[in-house]
Structure 1
Amino acid sequence: MSLHKYFENLSFVDYFHLVVLFFLFYVIKFYYKYFTRPNKLPGPLPLPIIECAYCFRGDTKHLFVSLNKKYGDFYEIQLGGYRRIVLSRPEHIEKFYNNSTKHVKFMPRAPFSRGLKELLMGGKGLQFSDDFNSWKFNRQIYTRAILSPNFNNEAIKWSYLLFEELEGYWKSLGLANSDGEEWTLETDFSKWFQRFTNDMVVVSTTGERSYSMGTYYNTLSPIKALYPDALIEDSDRFVKGMNQIVVGAALFLFLGPFIRHYVPFIRGKANEILKHRDFIFEKLDKIIQKRRQEIEVMKNKDLKNDMLTSLIIANTERDVNYKKTVGEETMPDIEIRTNIFGAFAAGTDTTANLFCYITYYLCHYPEVKQKMLAEIDSIFPQNSSIQLTHNDLSKLKYCEAIIKEVDRIIPVSNILARYSSEPFEVGGYQWPAGTLFNFDIVSLHRHKDYWPCPEIFDPNRFFLDNKNESYLNVKNDDLKDDNNGHNEKKDQKVGQKYSFIMFGSGSRICPGRKLAIIELLSLMVYVFGKYDVELIDMEAPLKTKSSIATTCLELMVRIRPRNQ
Structure 2
Amino acid sequence: MNYAISYITSHITLTLTDWLTIFLIIALLYTTEYYLSYFTRSNPLPGPLPFPIIGNAYLFRGDYSEVFLKLQKKYGTMMEVYFGPKRMIWIGDAKLIKKLNDPSPKSNFPYRAIGSWIDELKMTGMGMGLNNHMSSWRFNRAMLAKSVIVPSLFRQLVHVMEKTFEELEGYWIKLSKGNNKVIKIDLADWVYKYTNDIIVPTVTKKPAGLMLTHYNNIINNNTKITFEQNQAIEMLGRIRIWQKSIVFFYFFPKFLRHYIPPFTFLNTKYLYNINWLNEYFINITKIRRKEIENTPKGETLSSDILTSLICSNTHLGTQFDNINDEYGRPMTNEEIMRVTIEAITGGTNPLGSGICFTLYHIAKNPQAQSKVHDEIDRVLASDKEDTVAGFKWKAKQEFFIHNYYIQNSKTHWRDPELFIPERYLDDNEKPEENSHLPFGGGIRICPGRHLALTNAKI
Q: What CA distance in whole angstroms lies between the structure 2 residues aligned with 1:177 and 1:267?
A: 49
User: Structure 1 residue 14: deviation in Å?
Assistant: 2.5
The reply to whether residue 10 of structure 1 matches residue 13 of structure 2 is yes
1:434-453 superposed matches below 5 A: none
TM-score, normalised by the number of residues in structure 2: 0.76
Contact in 2 for aligned 1:170/1:185 (Cα 8 Å): no
The reply to whether residue 130 of structure 1 matches residue 132 of structure 2 is yes
Q: Which residue pairs with 1:283 in the alignment?
A: 280
Moved more, 45-54 or 342-351: 342-351
Distance 1:236 1:319, change over 3 A: closer
Distance 1:231 1:314, change over 3 A: closer
1:200-211 superposed matches below 5 A: 200-211=198-209
Deviations 1:232-266 (A, max 9, x none): 53233223222233244311111112222333233
Contact in 2 for aligned 1:141/1:311 (Cα 8 Å): yes
Q: Which residue pairs with 1:254 in the alignment?
A: 251
What is the identity, as a one-letter code, of the residue corresponding to 1:11?
Answer: L
Structure 2, unmatched stretches of 5+, are 385-458
Deviations 1:342-366 (A, max 9, x none): 1122222222122111121111001
The reply to whether residue 108 of structure 1 matches residue 111 of structure 2 is yes
Which of 65, 70, 95 is the equivalent residue of 1:66? Answer: 70
Deviations 1:281-307 (A, max 9, x none): 332122101110011112432212111
Q: Which residue pairs with 1:295 in the alignment?
A: 292
Q: What CA distance in whole angstroms lies between the structure 2 residues aligned with 1:323 and 1:309?
A: 20
User: Structure 1 residue 322: deviation in Å?
Assistant: 5.0
Which of 8, 15, 26 is the equivalent residue of 2:30? Answer: 26
Q: Which one has the largest radius of gyration?
A: 2
Q: What CA distance in whole angstroms lies between the structure 1 residues aligned with 2:40 and 2:132?
A: 29
Q: Which residue pairs with 2:313 in the alignment?
A: 315
Distance 1:378 1:270, change over 3 A: farther
1:364-403 superposed matches below 5 A: 364-383=364-383
Q: Which residue pairs with 2:210 in the alignment?
A: 212
Q: Which residue pairs with 2:165 in the alignment?
A: 163
Q: Which residue pairs with 2:345 in the alignment?
A: 345
Deviations 1:86-140 (A, max 9, x none): 111111111212341x3142222222341x3332223311222111111111111
Distance 1:237 1:250, change over 3 A: same
SS of the aligned residue for 1:45 comes to: coil
Deviations 1:427-478 (A, max 9, x none): xxxxxxxxxxxxxxxxxxxxxxxxxxxxxxxxxxxxxxxxxxxxxxxxxxxx
1:401-480 superposed matches below 5 A: none
User: Structure 1 residue 324: deviation in Å?
Assistant: 4.7
SS of the aligned residue for 2:250 comes to: helix
Q: Which residue pairs with 2:185 in the alignment?
A: 187
Structure 1, unmatched stretches of 5+, are 385-564
Distance 1:111 1:247, change over 3 A: closer
Q: What CA distance in whole angstroms lies between the structure 2 residues aligned with 1:83 and 1:311?
A: 38
Q: Which residue pairs with 1:235 in the alignment?
A: 232
Percent identity between the two aligned chains = 29
Q: What CA distance in whole angstroms lies between the structure 1 residues aligned with 2:211 and 2:174?
A: 13
Contact in 2 for aligned 1:243/1:349 (Cα 8 Å): no
Q: What CA distance in whole angstroms lies between the structure 1 residues aligned with 2:43 and 2:281?
A: 45
Contact in 2 for aligned 1:214/1:225 (Cα 8 Å): no
Contact in 1 for aligned 2:208/2:233 (Cα 8 Å): no
Instruction: Show structure 1 runs of 4+ deviating over 6 A.
Output: none
User: Structure 1 residue 226: deviation in Å?
Assistant: 6.1
Which of 149, 152, 156 is the equivalent residue of 1:150? Answer: 152
Higher normalized strand content (fraction of residues):
1
Distance 1:14 1:7, change over 3 A: farther
Which of 50, 53, 60 is the equivalent residue of 2:57? Answer: 53
Q: What CA distance in whole angstroms lies between the structure 2 residues aligned with 1:21 and 1:3?
A: 23
